[in-house]
């Protein structure tokens, strides 16, 4: 395993042969259920080392080579098992209490990795649904402790830094202020807002911003932690009720990197739901993969309205 640098994009690629061996949707066995070799008993949430990790804290040292740049694949890939219950579909099916335990695990893992000098960035994400290629159905998220800052995050940091320099305000705080005036807010509680951004790429893309200007999950107090658990349940519940079927999606938590100072940055969460209709997938294809540019097939405000209706329905059920 190693990191290879693409000088054309200025981006690292994590290379590893072990990834090929991971099981694909095993029928009568689940490595994340209680009592398996890896999990044991007596837990409510679990952070497990990924068995097929592309990164490792004892990744081999590398020989210097010619033109191309390589680096040690130092870091960690973990699986976040969100419940002992195998058959739940999504986070909205967890109790508020259980979801709060998941958020606390995200916080604890972040706190611990922040102390590790090898780790530059922690990516916490969740792949949901067969359509996105989830290999195990037991509810789980993942965590990558990376030795570099991902390209997309570097772009976000650079725009936020520039905006701060020019206007003396946080770009994310400003976006939130603008969104709160408008018609794309889906839901809010005391500490967080769920909205479809002005510039959504995916037909039902939604973001979650904390109202308070913080950079890391570790800065959230107890009340904000519960509020994040609440809005995560509402967000996933809304997506699942939209077409009366489970919504496949990718969710990413964006925190500030660990090395350096990022007072201008703002914690946020993004959901990229795959469906554009009940049985139609929006594929990232030519223009999306080739140019990293999206066409939005529809009118964001109309789709936000549908999400709001779905949310109203779900909110009652979640709090019944
Ligand atoms: N995995 C594991 N232990 C196992 C079987 C699988 O840690 O016994 C890991 C596997 O490497 C994979 C993850 O569990 O990364 C399941 O992740 P998911 O289905 O979300 O997506 P993938 O990473 O496979 O694309
Ligand atoms: Zn299971
Ligand atoms: Zn801010």
Q: What is the pLDDT of residue 271?
A: 98
Q: Residue 182: is its pLDDT beyond 90?
A: yes
Taking CA atoms, 189 is separated from 102, 204, 254, 257, in Å, by 19, 20, 20, 27
> Is the CB of 250 within 6 Å of ligand 1?
no
> Is the CB of 127 within 6 Å of ligand 1?
yes
Which of 18-27, 92-101, 132-141, 310-319 comes out lowest in average pLDDT?
Answer: 18-27
Annotation says 140 is catalytic? yes
Q: In sequence order, which residues have a C-beta less than 8 Å from that of residue 90 and are 6 or more positions away?
A: 128, 139, 236, 237, 240, 246
> Is the CB of 31 within 6 Å of ligand 1?
yes
Rounded mean pLDDT of 8-23? 88
Q: Residue 136: is its pLDDT beyond 90?
A: yes
> Is the CB of 312 within 6 Å of ligand 1?
no
Candidates 140, 207, 266, 268; catalytic one: 140
State pLDDT tens for residues 95-135.
999 999 999 999 999 999 999 999 999 999 999 999 998 98
37-56: buried (b, 16+ CB within 10 Å) or exposed (e) per residue?
eebeeeeebbbbebebbbbb
Mutate to test the pocket of ligand 1, among 18, 77, 78, 136 (most ligand atoms within 8 A of CB): 136
Taking CA atoms, 132 is separated from 7, 253, 273, in Å, by 29, 18, 10
**Chain mean pLDDT for the chain:** 95
Q: Residue 48: is its pLDDT beyond 90?
A: yes
How does residue 61 score in pLDDT terms, banded at 50, 70 and 90? Answer: confident
Residue 196 near residue 303, CB atoms below 8 Å? yes
Question: Is the pLDDT higher at 243 or at 25?
Answer: 243
Locate 152 and state its tokens. 């997309």
Q: Where are the domains of the chain?
A: 2-318
| CA dihedral angle for residue 144, residue 145, residue 149, residue 154, rounded to 10 degrees | 50
State pLDDT tens for residues 198-251.
999 999 999 999 999 999 999 999 999 999 999 999 999 999 999 999 999 999
Q: What is the pLDDT of residue 64?
A: 76
Q: In sequence order, which residues have a C-beta less than 8 Å from that of residue 257 and are 6 or more positions away?
A: 120, 121, 149, 153, 157
Class of domain 2-318: alpha beta
Which ligand is nearest to the Cα of residue 25, counting in written order? Answer: 1
**Which residues make up the environment of ion ligand 3, defined by Cβ < 5 Å?**
170, 172-173, 213, 266
Query: Considering only CA atoms, which of 79, 72, 77 is closest in space to residue 1?
Result: 72
Does the pTM of the predicted model rise above 0.90?
A: yes
């Amino acid at each position: 395993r190693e990191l290879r640098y693409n000088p054309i994009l200025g981006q690292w690629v994590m290379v590893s042969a072990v990834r090929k061996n991971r099981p694909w949707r095993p029928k009568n066995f689940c490595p994340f259920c209680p009592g398996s070799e890896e999990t044991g008993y007596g837990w409510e949430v679990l952070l497990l080392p990924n068995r097929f990790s592309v990164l490792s804290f004892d990744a081999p040292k590398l020989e210097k080579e010619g033109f191309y740049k390589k680096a040690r694949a130092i870091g960690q890939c973990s699986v976040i098992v969100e419940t002992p219950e195998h058959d739940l579909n999504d986070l909205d099916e967890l109790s508020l209490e259980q979801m709060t335990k998941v958020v606390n695990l995200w916080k604890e893992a972040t706190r611990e990795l922040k102390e590790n000098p090898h780790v530059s960035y922690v990516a916490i994400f969740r792949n949901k649904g067969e359509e996105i290629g989830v290999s195990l159905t037991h509810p789980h998220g993942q965590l990558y402790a990376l030795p570099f800052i991902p390209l997309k995050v570097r772009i976000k940091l650079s725009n936020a830094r520039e905006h701060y320099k020019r206007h003396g305000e946080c770009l994310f705080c400003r976006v939130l202020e603008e969104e709160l005036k408008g018609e794309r807010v889906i839901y809010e509680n005391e500490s967080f807002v769920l909205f479809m951004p002005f510039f959504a790429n995916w037909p039902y893309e939604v973001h979650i911003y904390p109202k308070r200007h913080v950079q890391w999950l570790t800065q959230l107090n107890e009340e904000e932690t519960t509020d994040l658990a609440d809005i995560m349940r509402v967000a996933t519940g809304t997506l699942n009720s939209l077409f009366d079927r489970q919504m496949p999606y990718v969710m990413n938590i964006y925190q500030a990197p660990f090395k350096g100072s990022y007072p201008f940055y703002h914690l946020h969460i993004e959901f990229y739901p795959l469906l554009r209709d009940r049985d139609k997938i929006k594929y990232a294809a030519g223009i999306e993969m080739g140019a990293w540019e999206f066409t939005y097939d529809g009118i964001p405000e109309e789709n936000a309205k549908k999400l709001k209706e779905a949310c109203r329905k779900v909110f009652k059920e979640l709090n019944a």
